[in-house]
Amino acid sequence: MVKYNEYKNLNYAKVGEDVLEFWKQNNIFERSVATREGNTPFVFYEGPPSANGTPGIHHVMARAVKDIFCRYKTLKGFQVNRKGGWDTHGLPVELQVEKELGITKEDIGKKITVEEYNQRCRETVMRFKSQWDTLTEQMGYWVDLNNPYITFENEYIESCWALLRKLYDKGYLYKGYTIQPFSPAAGTGLSSHELNQPGCYKMVKDTTIVAQFEVRKITRNMFLFEHEEEKVYFLAWTTTPWTLPANTGLAVGKNIKYVKVQSYNPYTFEPISVILAKDLVGRYFNQKAADLALTDYSSGDKLIPFKVVEEFVGSDLAGVEYHQLMPYVQPEKPAFRVIIGDYVTTEDGTGIVHISPTFGADDARVAAQNDIPALLVMDENGKPGPIVDRQGRFVPEITDFAGMYVKNYDGQDESAADYKPTDVLIAIKLKEEGKAFKVEKYEHTYPHCWRTDKPVLYYPLDSWFIKTTAVKDRLIELNKTINWKPESTGTGRFGNWLENLVDWNLSRSRYWGTPLPIWRTEDGEEEICIGSIAELTEEIGRAVDAGVMDEAVEVKDLHRPYVDNIILLSKSGKPMYREPDLIDVWFDSGAMPYAQWHYPLENEEQFQKNFPADFIAEGVDQTRGWFFTLHALAVMLEDSVAYKNVIANGLVLDKNGNKMSKRLGNAIDPFEMIGQYGPDAVRWYMIANAPPWDNLKFNPDGVVETQRRFFGTLQNTYSFFALYANLDNFTYSEADVPMAQRTESDRWIISKLNTLIQDVDANYADYDPTRAARAIQDFVVDDLSNWYVRLNRKRFWKGEYNTDKIAAYQTLYTCLEVIAKLAAPIAPFYTEQLYRDLNAVSNKHTEESVHLAYYPEVNHEDINKDLEERMQLAQTISSLVHSLRKKEMIKVRQPLQRILIPVLNDRMRAQIDAVADLILSEVNVKTIEYIDDTSGILVKKIKPNFKKLGQVFGPKMKLVAAAVQRMDQNDIAHLEREGGFEIMLNEEETAVLTPEDVEISSEDIPGWLVANEGKLTVALDITLTEELKQEGIARDLVNRIQNLRKDSNLEVQDKIHILLQRTEPAVMQAVENYSSYICAETQALSLDTVDELENATLLDIDDYKVYIHIQTERSTII
RNA sequence: GGGCUUGUAGCUCAGGUGGUUAGAGCGCUACACUGAUAAUGUAGAGGUCCGUGGUUCGAGUCCACGCAGGCCCA
């Protein structure tokens, strides 16, 4: 005979391990896909993680979300292929390798060959793969790890090339030159994606300078010298003093008001006139000095007098020329003019902005618009470049500062007493020259390189771009068809980003990544974009034939340095060299819908079947990363979305809402969590606690609570079922007991269950796992365990194995089995065990795993809202009676005669009547009596239905409410009897109310102990008759005997004999009258009373003392 | 500075389209129940629903402006 498994002290981590083993042994994952062969596919894309770091708890969150919907769709019969993937290229790997080898980017190709270096990257990037695989497995994330796509593989790269070629052919690929964030420490430009990395913008304290730009005293500018000044200066503020030698212009706001102020330089004490925004005068001149005369000043005075002498608007100043501030290098064209800049504000600084076109994106733009040149120097090859080299050092032409790092890139000790940043040295020089008006420390956010932690420079770089702006409208249009969870991320964050789209900067000057497949002649006149290995091989053949390449090489690896060694032949017969850049790694991952199948080079059908994705899910930080690159490529290549539904999940923070970091030590180890609480509790907690798109404050205490409250309760319910089902040999072999023959509570829980099936399905379908989890949890804890099982316990352990008992078993079995299926996507391990434990005995399902089974069907005819409503009434009434008992200190064991319930109408009476038995047994009362209108003691209360009346009466609502309050019992009766009642709003107006316009409820019953909630009122009769008292004693006695049984470790089915000493008459009377009841409850074969009892146990029942002795058939105990 | 987002009990969170006693779980306190027992029930304490204005007969809910936190970007 197969039994339901019974567990003592279930270890949830162990459940995880056992179930995992079962899955492996029986290929359940593979079969969950195979058994759906031929069904509608549900396409899921795995956003590839990088395995060069260890996984964290937030990965459990992200992957649980992915897993839930794939499992759910599988339950619904869809075939869900999930190809795993690895993101393997990019800067993080390179920097890690550099660190381990103790080299810098400059050493690559010198101390180590590019070949060796890349080999090292290839090995390093998969270093933590096994940890990732372990986590994936242990947390129950089902994804195909055996055939993943790997972005460094040749075929993958070849696909990327083919895609780039398509873009190239469409004219979307071009070479440009822009000011970009550049990290001298890492030796690379940074993409906007990289600058988006959390933590890049950091508070730093920089030396800032308000510099004085001296106006040229020429005819054109004489309007600025009308107060007989010797020197007039523009004041411009910069937080990057190192850019001052590259200044070629000043920008003012067209409509901003400026003033000329006469004062003194605070460092040299020279008399000067300065121009700055009118609104900002107060920031640079102390108002206390406003009344001082200029002539009162003597050198070194703290309070510097000033005088506003003239006012201009920005457009007046445009075109004014000034002397170069730091004349190390001369520009090619006329420069040093004031221009109009659309981005100038008076928020901070002076309202005049210093422009260095080589070191600022805005600067470059407005300078180009106004024909202001950049300040350039020639490098050793005669190519023009900025005055700071790619290591971040001033070039030799900047004599005073030649070779100095503009920021601390050489690791100087900043805490050293004599440490002076270059910015400070520049400030000192300008002070000495009388060109600094104010020098101060300023704290602001500044972008930092996300790996080296060093400040970024804005720097001119050659770059290849994808012209995403060409398809901007289409990107926006198609984005509107994507179902974003939450919606705001799609419309707001992502939508706004698309509205302000700039071209995608593709270039990276690094080593480990997908090389740009473009070869160019040295003069840049001719170029070719290679789209496949075959094409490259063919071109190599041509090049070898023509003699530009020495010998044909076989194309084995598309990485550097191999592709760099290939020289191709242009149409006109010139050699072409590969453009040295690599492409942005985000292109790699954005290309996964195509490249995972080696499309477009092969597998057309495979690709078409799996594009676009039905569903993807990643962190919200991917909005401008993967979410964007997927979308951009799909729109440009296929004129389609790449995904139809997307969940952008939030961050996992520590319990205090702080970011987790290994450095701070508040990071939570996912392996530890799973090892301690099992994978299900961790998953359930994360999903049920907050919607995935909200940030999750991860508190391990919450996992404990989830385990206890949800899993503990569910397991308790199962244990209860298993215990008795095993005793009764219930195997679900009987035909289903028709609903009509089941009890009210059976039909109620089945009704609730079917409602649950419906609700949970809707929530999953709406990509809202949190609501699904909460609905399941509420059902299990409140409805199933705390109400159904509690109410029906006796049916399981008492009486014959008859239809009623079978109905109870079937009902509870069904609930458990359905819960296993509904919860399976979120808690795949425990539900697997539950399902299998049930099915092992019943064999109701041929599927041996819950994940091979199908989502339960809703039986609409079993849903009965009337029934659900009256059970709610039963619960509320029981709760009210309990609270009344509590108030009167009458324990539940003491039976009471009756409760009184005022009923307002026949329906209410019928509803309560149907559940009367439940209520009576739950609260241990003999009868329910109803009080209705005919009783003459019912007092009613009336309240306006604000929602309904408000719509009708609007502003007169206050009058209506007052009129309703004035209605007395007769008025209410009239309203109910006649179906209408006329109220006076004021002296003129009247209105007619119908019963629907008001809410009538019962009030207190005079002279009774009552409690009420909402419309319900309950009164309790607390009169104790002799008979009730005796029954109370009998129940107490049963209770004490049961405790004795338990204390003696008797089995449930063990029979006993009871001996009582004849003492208290009241007790004896109760024993006599309730002897059969006592025997039945306590499994006693006999109950005898004697005069004297040896070895008796003393029981205290209220004020009575009872001596008792029980013995089993086996032996005498106690 | 901009975009998005959050703010409800000590903690974690619910509170369609505005409707008159703002809820749950945990925690705390007290009591009860007991053949599910390392469970359960009942009650109590605990709220200026972040603030200020506004719209409305009526605002936790809608609007505006702030404040505080978060994310992303300048």
pLDDT tens across A99-108, in order?
899 887 778 8
Using the CA of A709, which nucleotide's C1' is the nearest one?
Answer: B25
Say how many residues make up chain A: 1118
Distances (CA, A) of A26 to A15, A21, A30, A583, A848: 16, 9, 9, 43, 9
A932 contact to strand B (CB, 7 A limit):
no
Q: Alpha-carbon distance A157 to A654, whole Å?
A: 39
Using the CA of A701, which nucleotide's C1' is the nearest one?
Answer: B26
Q: How long is the CA A693 to C1' B60 vector, in angstroms?
A: 22
Using the CA of A9, which nucleotide's C1' is the nearest one?
Answer: B38
Residue A167 in contact with residue A467, Cβ under 8 Å?
Answer: no
Instruction: Let me know if A622 is a catalytic residue.
Output: yes
Which is the catalytic residue, given A23, A504, A512, A586? Answer: A586
Nucleotides on chain B that have an atom closer than 7 A to a protein CB are: 1, 3-6, 11-14, 19-21, 25-26, 31-43, 56-58, 69-74
Average pLDDT for chain A: 86
Q: Alpha-carbon distance A344 to A673, whole Å?
A: 52
Q: How long is the CA A884 to C1' B31 vector, in angstroms?
A: 13
Q: Which 608-667 positions of A have CB less than 7 A from strand B?
A: 620-621, 623-624, 651, 655, 657, 659
State residue A1014's pLDDT score. Answer: 67
Quick: pLDDT tens for A1017-1037: 788 887 888 888 888 888 888
Is the confidence at residue A1118, as pLDDT, over 60?
no
A218 vs A892, which has greater pLDDT?
Answer: A218
Is the confidence at residue A197, as pLDDT, over 70?
no
If residue A796 lies in a helix (H) or strand (E), which one and from where to where?
Answer: helix A790-797
A408 vs A828, which has greater pLDDT?
Answer: A828
Is the confidence at residue A474, as pLDDT, over 70?
yes
Residue nearest to nucleotide B6 (CA to C1'): A694
A509 contact to strand B (CB, 7 A limit):
no
Which of A85-94, A280-289, A973-982, A1095-1104 has the weakest average pLDDT?
A1095-1104
Q: How long is the CA A485 to C1' B8 vector, in angstroms?
A: 24
Distances (CA, A) of A855 to A74, A78, A329: 9, 11, 75
Which is the catalytic residue, given A99, A170, A662, A891? Answer: A662
Average pLDDT over residues A839-844: 92
Using the CA of A880, which nucleotide's C1' is the nearest one?
Answer: B42
Which is the catalytic residue, given A67, A87, A584, A680? Answer: A87
Is the confidence at residue A760, as pLDDT, over 80?
yes
Q: Alpha-carbon distance A1033 to A1066, whole Å?
A: 8
Which is the catalytic residue, given A3, A217, A257, A659? Answer: A659
Sorted by sequence, the CB contacts under 8 Å of residue A522 that are 6+ apart come out as A574, A575, A577
Query: Cα-flanking dihedrals φ and ψ of residue A554, to 5°?
Result: -80, 135
Residue nearest to nucleotide B70 (CA to C1'): A695
Q: Which 945-964 positions of A have CB less than 7 A from strand B?
A: 946-947, 950-951, 954-955, 957-958, 961
A761 pLDDT tier (thresholds 50, 70, 90): very high
Quick: pLDDT tens for A700-723: 888 888 888 899 899 989 999 998
Q: Alpha-carbon distance A1104 to A813, whole Å?
A: 44
Q: How long is the CA A957 to C1' B59 vector, in angstroms?
A: 16
State residue A1116's pLDDT score. Answer: 45
Sorted by sequence, the CB contacts under 8 Å of residue A664 that are 6+ apart come out as A658
If residue A484 lies in a helix (H) or strand (E), which one and from where to where?
Answer: strand A483-485
Using the CA of A785, which nucleotide's C1' is the nearest one?
Answer: B36
Average pLDDT over residues A623-645: 93
Quick: pLDDT tens for A576-617: 999 998 999 999 999 999 999 999 999 999 999 999 999 999
A29 vs A362, which has greater pLDDT?
Answer: A29
A852 pLDDT tier (thresholds 50, 70, 90): very high
Q: Within 13 Å, how many C-alpha atoms sit on residue A433's CB side?
A: 15
Report which residue type is found at A546: A
State residue A46's pLDDT score. Answer: 93
Using the CA of A797, which nucleotide's C1' is the nearest one?
Answer: B35
Is the confidence at residue A277, as pLDDT, over 60?
yes
Q: Alpha-carbon distance A75 to A72, whole Å?
A: 5
A558 vs A1000, which has greater pLDDT?
Answer: A558
A196 contact to strand B (CB, 7 A limit):
yes
State residue A1006's pLDDT score. Answer: 65
Using the CA of A1042, which nucleotide's C1' is the nearest one?
Answer: B35
State residue A1003's pLDDT score. Answer: 67
Q: Alpha-carbon distance A693 to A489, whole Å?
A: 9
Is the confidence at residue A73, as pLDDT, over 50?
yes
State residue A569's pLDDT score. Answer: 92
Average pLDDT over residues A58-77: 94
Distances (CA, A) of A495 to A45, A481, A484, A625, A641: 22, 12, 11, 14, 14
Q: How long is the CA A208 to C1' B61 vector, in angstroms?
A: 48
Q: Which two tokens stand for residue A575?
A: 């050699």
Q: How long is the CA A139 to C1' B60 vector, in angstroms?
A: 39
Positive/negative CA dihedral, A941, A945, A949, A955? positive
State residue A928's pLDDT score. Answer: 87
User: Checking DSSP bridges between strand A1104-1112 and strand A1056-1061, what pairing results, if any?
Assistant: antiparallel
Greatest mean pLDDT range, A252-266, A582-596, A1080-1094: A582-596
Instruction: Let me know if A586 is a catalytic residue.
Output: yes
Report which residue type is found at A55: P
Residue A856 in contact with residue A822, Cβ under 8 Å?
Answer: yes
A792 contact to strand B (CB, 7 A limit):
no
Which of A33-37, A63-67, A936-940 has the weakest average pLDDT?
A936-940
A1024 contact to strand B (CB, 7 A limit):
no
Residue A386 in contact with residue A460, Cβ under 8 Å?
Answer: yes
Strand partners, A208: A440
A885 pLDDT tier (thresholds 50, 70, 90): confident
Q: Alpha-carbon distance A528 to A904, whole Å?
A: 87
Q: Within 13 Å, how many C-alpha atoms sit on residue A495's CB side?
A: 15
Instruction: Let me know if A413 is a catalytic residue.
Output: no
Residue A854 in contact with residue A77, Cβ under 8 Å?
Answer: yes
Instruction: Let me know if A519 is a catalytic residue.
Output: no
Residue A1033 in contact with residue A1013, Cβ under 8 Å?
Answer: no
User: Checking DSSP bridges between strand A652-654 and strand A998-1002, what pairing results, if any?
Assistant: unpaired
Greatest mean pLDDT range, A637-651, A797-811, A961-975: A637-651
Average pLDDT over residues A236-262: 86
Greatest mean pLDDT range, A95-109, A654-668, A675-689: A675-689
| Residue carrying the six token digits 């260890």 | A54
Instruction: Let me know if A87 is a catalytic residue.
Output: yes
Q: How long is the CA A61 to C1' B13 vector, in angstroms?
A: 18
Q: How long is the CA A480 to C1' B3 vector, in angstroms?
A: 18
A999 contact to strand B (CB, 7 A limit):
no
Q: What percent of chain A has pLDDT over 90?
A: 36
A1045 pLDDT tier (thresholds 50, 70, 90): confident
Alpha-carbon torsion angle A46, A48, A54, A60, nearest 10? -20
A910 pLDDT tier (thresholds 50, 70, 90): confident
Strand partners, A43: none
Is the confidence at residue A1077, as pLDDT, over 90?
no
Alpha helices in A626-768 (DSSP H): 626-638, 670-689, 700-706, 713-728, 744-765
Is the confidence at residue A952, as pLDDT, over 80?
no
A576 vs A937, which has greater pLDDT?
Answer: A576
Is the confidence at residue A443, as pLDDT, over 80?
no
Which is the catalytic residue, given A138, A180, A262, A622? Answer: A622
A192 pLDDT tier (thresholds 50, 70, 90): low
Report which residue type is found at A1020: L
| Residue carrying the six token digits 């052919």 | A169
Q: What percent of chain A has pLDDT over 70?
A: 96
State residue A1117's pLDDT score. Answer: 45
Q: Which 199-218 positions of A have CB less than 7 A from strand B?
A: 199-201
Q: Alpha-carbon distance A508 to A830, whole Å?
A: 47
Residue A959 in contact with residue A986, Cβ under 8 Å?
Answer: yes
Strand partners, A1016: A1013
Is the confidence at residue A673, as pLDDT, over 60?
yes
Sorted by sequence, the CB contacts under 8 Å of residue A202 that are 6+ apart come out as A445, A446, A448
Q: Which 839-898 positions of A have CB less than 7 A from strand B?
A: 879, 882-883, 886, 889, 891-893
Quick: pLDDT tens for A790-836: 888 888 877 788 899 999 999 999 999 999 999 999 999 999 999 99
Residue A297 in contact with residue A304, Cβ under 8 Å?
Answer: yes
Is the confidence at residue A90, as pLDDT, over 80?
yes
